[in-house]
Structure 1
């Protein structure tokens, strides 16, 4: 096996949530190009079909499952859909999530609970449904093997910034969930995650048209640019392939080198 072969996931099956665009779409296509069949899910069927065509162009199969992934039954059902369609399940990429920044006094308990539900509880529901299916053909002791769960977190889960209380708290929980689940599921399933920095997806579309904001993002990032969805997809592939077979319970920081938020939301001081 050459070193490049370690990055292949030939004939494996991956479920990617939030796969209609952005990081999820790029990850689904990356897995297909590396040899996997994929189950892709998001709200918008038309977007999923575009991604599915890219998967098929890579010579792999795509199962499209339009769904509201805040619904726990729907998100858990993706694991069974993968197994029923392809007869195996190797990787879960918990990508769906996100929460709009908010001032502290506007972040009520319901808003915080909604952020936790969408970013953490959904990932747990899918993983909980997936693990028994993954174990059906996971060797008891194979040194790490190919069964993998990857959580897409955010650098706001390890840093502090005004306005990100709900989002950052949820993403921090998602990261620590990965560390804890890695202990529970070792050695048969590896669990890791990615602290994502500023990546040019739909979440940053409002910034793209404002030169001053784009300049702020770029100049406050040590590598001098906003990330691409493929930067994260490549990390997810590494963590799920034999290239990452000795990695579990870890969080990769794929963020251009930033140590603090690189976009000022200009939220005022209390009482200002």
Structure 2
């Protein structure tokens, strides 16, 4: 822990993070605990979810792991309810979990398309809805941050049409929910990560072109999970109190290169 920027404190607040057993989700969960929040970790894999909770506890934070599957609306609602039951409130919801598979569009079945939509845009819709109900009922508002993707903006031609469509759906969802819930004190934003520095990512890149990782975007490097988490946590914090309905691009400048 300790990677977050100075000036952000979220002591006494409660956050839910989906997909927090690894990658960006784990970095968000750890970062939120680092700035004082209590964290409910949603993760389909109970072991990795508990690992994240243990990492937070070992660093002096407070977290619980609640096994959950974002493809199942009841499971998502139970995650939000469990966080409120354990910690007494909910201040921040991070719709981070998602999924994808690569295949030529002509080979993608309706079932495959629907599966990608369920894991991404529908999960963000259900998670946001469940969190907003709690925030509105408790009367203190809150912040919702969803993880979109640079794929929502930039075509690759690499067999990710369903994923690009689902992530683009998160952009529209973010704007509409911000407009609908703003008067109730709920801010809704998103992040659009670019390439992430991970072993799996490097393997995929090496198959295509050896030097892509070292020449990604204007900064000539891939992002770390902590880079993306910092943007998400900023949006959930009071430093972003006048920001809603927006998506922050965290992509090393690929959108302008």
The question of a shared fold, defined as TM-score above 0.5 by the shorter chain, is answered with yes
* Counterpart-to-counterpart distance in 2, 1:230 and 1:256: 14
Instruction: Please list, as runs of the form range in 1=range in 2, the aligned pairs for 1:1-272 lying within 5 A after superposition.
Output: 4-5=6-7, 7-139=8-140, 147-162=142-157, 163-187=159-183, 188-201=185-198, 203-204=200-201, 206-207=203-204, 210=206, 213-259=209-255
What secondary structure does 1:259 align onto? helix
8 Å contact 2:13–2:91 — kept in the other structure?
yes
* Counterpart-to-counterpart distance in 2, 1:83 and 1:220: 41
* Counterpart-to-counterpart distance in 2, 1:214 and 1:30: 32
Quote the offset at 1:259 in angstroms: 2.8
TM-score calculated relative to the size of structure 2: 0.91
* Counterpart-to-counterpart distance in 2, 1:61 and 1:134: 21
Question: Unaligned 5+ residue runs, structure 1?
Answer: 140-145, 263-272
Q: Deviations over 1:107-155 (max 9, x none)?
A: 222221111111011111122111121124444xxxxxx7100010100
Quote the offset at 1:4 in angstroms: 4.1
* Counterpart-to-counterpart distance in 1, 2:239 and 2:78: 29
* Counterpart-to-counterpart distance in 2, 1:225 and 1:175: 25
* Counterpart-to-counterpart distance in 2, 1:42 and 1:154: 20
8 Å contact 1:40–1:65 — kept in the other structure?
yes
Moved more, 163-172 or 126-135: 126-135
Aligned-pair RMSD on alpha carbons? 2.0
> Is the radius of gyration larger for structure 1 or structure 2?
1
TM-score calculated relative to the size of structure 1: 0.86
Quote the offset at 1:197 in angstroms: 0.2
Question: Unaligned 5+ residue runs, structure 2?
Answer: none
Moved more, 219-228 or 236-245: 219-228
Quote the offset at 1:231 in angstroms: 0.4
8 Å contact 1:14–1:37 — kept in the other structure?
yes
Count of aligned residue pairs for this structure pair: 251
8 Å contact 2:33–2:39 — kept in the other structure?
yes
Quote the offset at 1:170 in angstroms: 0.3
8 Å contact 2:17–2:94 — kept in the other structure?
yes
8 Å contact 2:202–2:213 — kept in the other structure?
no
Q: How has the CA–CA distance of structure 1 residues 254 and 131 changed in structure 2, closer, same or farther, with 3 Å as cutoff?
A: same
Quote the offset at 1:179 in angstroms: 0.7
8 Å contact 1:76–1:127 — kept in the other structure?
no
1:267 aligns with none
Quote the offset at 1:205 in angstroms: 5.3
Quote the offset at 1:102 in angstroms: 1.6
